[in-house]
Amino acid sequence: MSRQLDIVVRSESSDPKQYRFRKKTVTVGRGCDVDLSISGDPRISRCHLILRPKGKNKFELLDRSRAGTFHNGNPVQRGVFSYGTIFLLGRTELQVGMPREKTTPRSIQRRVWMNSAAGKVVGYVLVIVFAIVLLAMAMRGNRDGGQRAGGTDVLPRELINTGQLDKARETLNELINTGNASVEEEELYYFVLELKDKWQTAKNTERRMDLGGARDQWQMIVYTLPNEWAELGVWIESNHINRLAKRISNDGNQ
């Protein structure tokens, strides 16, 4: 499930700007094909770094720049940090996430109420409601599974992992339109749409015979894939990146 990631950008030439993303990966750089584009700082690379939310109040940073990314004066290539950490990209400051809420009298009062008799009763009621919702979802899942068994031979994840994005999109779209899609499948549908746009960009670049540019775009797709899609990354490397590398090598030998 995608987590919210707030980013604040501070530069000498403009006022601080705050951005909010609900994605599993967020790319930051100077180019027009990244999620967060920062202009006006030549020391920022086209795709400077990649951010991935990691659990509660944590995120992973992966540096892809030439000039480097710095935290407290030290270069950072890869690591997991707490929300609120500030990085320096060229002359631009990047604050990723908001710091954890400090303890205040209001939060203390809230904790006291939760530990009171009334708070415990409300807690028990919420647990019961949550259990009923889970039971209803499980029953619906069993019913939907029986319906899909006769109509869909291949699961959407298997289609995606073998590069069949169009068929995966059609399958997920049909599940959504018939009201049989789970929350995970709805998120998977939007993941396929986002991936399809990047997929098409790389293919268009290859059609223009810019083989090196197409290879770089396929590599960027692999770099930004969440860990759960490692199998898809292997498929892309085998069917696109390695194929383009051979074409580039053959063209160079002619």
Q: Same domain for 237 and 158?
A: yes
Q: Same domain for 236 and 158?
A: yes
Amino acid identity at 37:
S
Distance (Å, whole) CA 121 – CA 140 = 29
| Counted domains in the chain | 3
Residue 83, pLDDT above cutoff 90: yes
At 55 the pLDDT is 78
Q: Same domain for 166 and 87?
A: no
Q: Same domain for 110 and 139?
A: yes
Q: Same domain for 158 and 245?
A: yes
Lowest mean pLDDT among 94-103, 156-165, 166-175, 185-194: 94-103
By percentage, how much of the chain surpasses pLDDT 90?
Answer: 43
**Residue 64 lies in domain:** 4-96
User: Dihedral angle at the C-alpha atoms of 225, 40, 214, 245, nearest 10 degrees?
Assistant: -90
Among 68, 96, 124, the domain-final residue is 96
Q: Same domain for 120 and 170?
A: no
Distance (Å, whole) CA 8 – CA 93 = 8
Residue 211, pLDDT above cutoff 70: yes
Amino acid identity at 226:
P
Lowest mean pLDDT among 59-73, 136-150, 159-173: 136-150
At 107 the pLDDT is 54
Q: Same domain for 160 and 239?
A: yes
Q: Same domain for 164 and 197?
A: yes
Among 53, 72, 96, the domain-final residue is 96
Among 115, 132, 151, the domain-final residue is 151
At 70 the pLDDT is 96
Residue 152, pLDDT above cutoff 50: no
- CATH number where 46 lies: 2.60.200.20
Q: Same domain for 128 and 186?
A: no
* Top-confidence residue, 104 or 162: 162
Q: What is the pLDDT of residues 43-67, one digit of tens each?
A: 999 999 999 998 788 999 999 999 9
At 134 the pLDDT is 84
Residue 58: its H or E element: strand 58-63
Q: Same domain for 127 and 142?
A: yes
Q: What is the pLDDT of residues 86-141, one digit of tens each?
A: 999 999 999 998 876 554 556 545 555 555 666 667 777 888 888 888 887 777 65
Cβ neighbour number for residue 190 with a 10 Å cutoff: 13
Q: Same domain for 49 and 126?
A: no
Q: Same domain for 145 and 158?
A: no
Residue 239, pLDDT above cutoff 80: yes
